[in-house]
């Protein structure tokens, strides 16, 4: 399957706002909508945007309908995800992959959106962008400057500034398609048809609220599944609130170093991507190259 690069977002475009994951109070989203309108964009809201079905933003059928509708609608030029939480993986079997592939629009989200974005790339080859959750990233206090710049550079120009300061644990150069996101979501798709081909991929990972032993468990699961045997290398990003319950349990750095001794590919930490307020947007499917502790992201898929 060939990768599909989405269209560039143009000024005054109409943005589709969707909630494929968790529910939330409508007031949480209003600062983000006001911000997007102030940038000159029109807004189209999904029908189940503010719905609630237990911890989900509507039923699976409702949330999948919004995604299918937004991709098929020629007046919608990009899809923005309202928040993460949980639930996007529940929609994968309900999506119209053929329609999505025929309408290659940019989609941007974070966290739980990882499941949707990996499925999107696996089933259609469509490149998407990980690095923005509207409810949490755009508040009455505004948006972090680095995150803001990275979002619009990615969506409007497919431009990514070099990322310096990667810290090697297992040294080596690497190049290949960038594939990754939230570790727990990636691990949850093992054994399904919604994981992309990892051959020669640069795998980038982050997570939040998982103590070191759980990070260890998920990495071990991926290792047993053979994913790291195929990969060009691994980039660890921000792991927020992932401290051990007790100091004797060791640190996350201990987990990463132990992991690096078990794989044969290069392993780096300190990628500025994750649940921190300040982050870089990562494209799922574009081509990256790591040399001299620096990540260069190309506008192409090769």
| pLDDT digit string, tens, across residues 267-299 | 999 999 999 999 999 999 999 999 999 999 998
Which of 129, 157, 185 corresponds to the end of one domain? Answer: 157
Residue 4 within a domain: no
73 vs 2, more confident: 73
Residue 240 within a domain: yes
pTM: 0.96
The whole-angstrom separation of Cα 239 and Cα 229 is 23
Positive or negative: CA dihedral 264, 243, 86, 182: negative
From the candidates 21, 62, 158, 275, give the one annotated as an active-site residue: 275
The sheet carrying 202-208 orders its strands as 167-170, 267-269, 233-240, 202-208, 174-182, 287-291, 294-297
The whole-angstrom separation of Cα 169 and Cα 125 is 31
Q: What percent of the chain has pLDDT over 70?
A: 99
Q: Do 148 and 189 share a domain, yes or no?
A: no
Q: What is the pLDDT of residues 236-279, one digit of tens each?
A: 999 999 888 888 888 999 999 999 999 999 999 999 999 999 99
pLDDT of the residue at 51: 83
Q: Which of 55-59, 121-125, 127-131, 213-217 is predicted with the least confidence, judged by mean pLDDT?
A: 55-59
Residue 162 within a domain: no
Q: What is the pLDDT of residues 29-82, one digit of tens each?
A: 999 999 999 999 999 999 998 889 999 999 999 999 999 999 999 999 999 999
- Whether 62 is a known active-site residue: answer no
For residue 164, give Cα distances in angstroms to 34, 168, 289, 290, 291.
33, 12, 12, 10, 10
Residue 7 within a domain: no
**Do residues 68 and 95 lie in contact, with contact meaning Cβ atoms separated by under 8 Å?**
yes
Which of 103, 138, 157 corresponds to the end of one domain? Answer: 157
Q: C-alpha angle with apex 120: 137 to 174, nearest 5 degrees? A: 80
The whole-angstrom separation of Cα 56 and Cα 11 is 32
Q: Mean per-residue pLDDT for 201-217?
A: 96
Average pLDDT in the chain:
95
Q: What's the domain count of the chain? A: 2
From the candidates 48, 111, 128, 184, give the one annotated as an active-site residue: 111
Q: Do 135 and 198 share a domain, yes or no?
A: no
Q: Which of 280, 294, 302, 299 is nearest to 108 (CA)?
A: 280
pLDDT of the residue at 293: 97
Q: Which of 149, 203, 161 is nearest to 181 (CA)?
A: 203
pLDDT of the residue at 161: 96
pLDDT of the residue at 245: 84
- Whether 93 is a known active-site residue: answer no
CATH number at residue 195: 3.50.30.60
Q: Quick one: the chain helix, strand, coil %, rounded to 5?
A: 35, 25, 40
pLDDT at 141 over 80: yes
The whole-angstrom separation of Cα 185 and Cα 181 is 8
Q: C-alpha angle with apex 29: 26 to 35, nearest 5 degrees? A: 145
Q: Do 128 and 183 share a domain, yes or no?
A: no
pLDDT at 133 over 80: yes
CATH number at residue 27: 3.40.50.10740
From the candidates 3, 77, 88, 206, give the one annotated as an active-site residue: 206
Which domain range does residue 276 map to? 167-297
Q: What is the pLDDT of residues 221-232, one digit of tens each?
A: 999 999 999 999
At 295, is the secondary structure helix, strand, or coil? strand
pLDDT of the residue at 299: 81
pLDDT of the residue at 1: 58
Q: Do 142 and 197 share a domain, yes or no?
A: no
Which of 128, 157, 186 corresponds to the end of one domain? Answer: 157
Q: Do 82 and 43 share a domain, yes or no?
A: yes
pLDDT of the residue at 300: 77
pLDDT of the residue at 301: 75
Q: Mean per-residue pLDDT for 148-155?
A: 98
- Whether 77 is a known active-site residue: answer no
Q: Mean per-residue pLDDT for 147-151?
A: 98
Residue 8 within a domain: no
Q: Do 236 and 151 share a domain, yes or no?
A: no
pLDDT of the residue at 246: 82
Q: What is the pLDDT of residues 186-200, one digit of tens each?
A: 999 999 999 999 999
Backbone angles phi, psi at 127, to 5 degrees: -75, 135
49: left (phi over 0), alpha (psi -120 to 50) or beta: alpha
């Amino acid at each position: 399957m060939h990768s599909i690069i989405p269209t560039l977002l143009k000024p005054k475009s109409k943005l589709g706002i969707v909630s494929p994951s968790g529910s939330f109070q409508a007031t949480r989203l209003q600062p983000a909508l006001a911000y997007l309108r102030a940038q000159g964009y029109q807004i189209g809201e999904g029908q189940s945007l503010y719905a609630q079905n237990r911890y989900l933003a509507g039923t699976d059928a409702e949330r999948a309908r919004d995604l299918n509708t937004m991709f098929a609608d020629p007046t919608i030029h990009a899809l923005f995800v309202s928040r993460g939480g949980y639930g996007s993986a529940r929609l994968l079997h309900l999506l119209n992959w053929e329609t999505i592939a025929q309408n290659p629009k940019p989609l941007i989200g974070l966290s739980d959106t990882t499941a949707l974005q990996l499925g999107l790339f696996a089933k259609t080859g469509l490149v998407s962008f990980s690095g923005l959750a509207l409810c949490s990233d755009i508040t009455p206090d505004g948006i972090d400057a680095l995150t803001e710049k990275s979002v619009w550079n990615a969506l409007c120009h497919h431009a990514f500034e070099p990322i310096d300061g990667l810290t090697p644990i297992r040294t080596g150069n690497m190049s290949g398609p960038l594939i990754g996101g939230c570790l727990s979501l990636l691990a949850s798709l093992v054994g399904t048809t919604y994981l992309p081909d990892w051959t020669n991929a640069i795998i980038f990972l982050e997570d939040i609220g998982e103590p070191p032993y759980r990070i260890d468990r998920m990495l071990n699961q991926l290792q047993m599944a053979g994913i790291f045997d195929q990969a060009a290398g691994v980039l660890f990003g921000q792991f927020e609130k992932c401290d051990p319950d007790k100091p004797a349990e060791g640190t996350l750095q201990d987990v990463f170093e132990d992991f690096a001794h078990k794989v044969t590919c290069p392993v780096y930490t300190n990628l500025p991507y994750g649940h921190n307020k300040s982050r870089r947007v990562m494209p799922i499917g574009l081509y990256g190259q790591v040399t001299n502790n620096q990540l260069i992201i190309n506008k192409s898929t090769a």
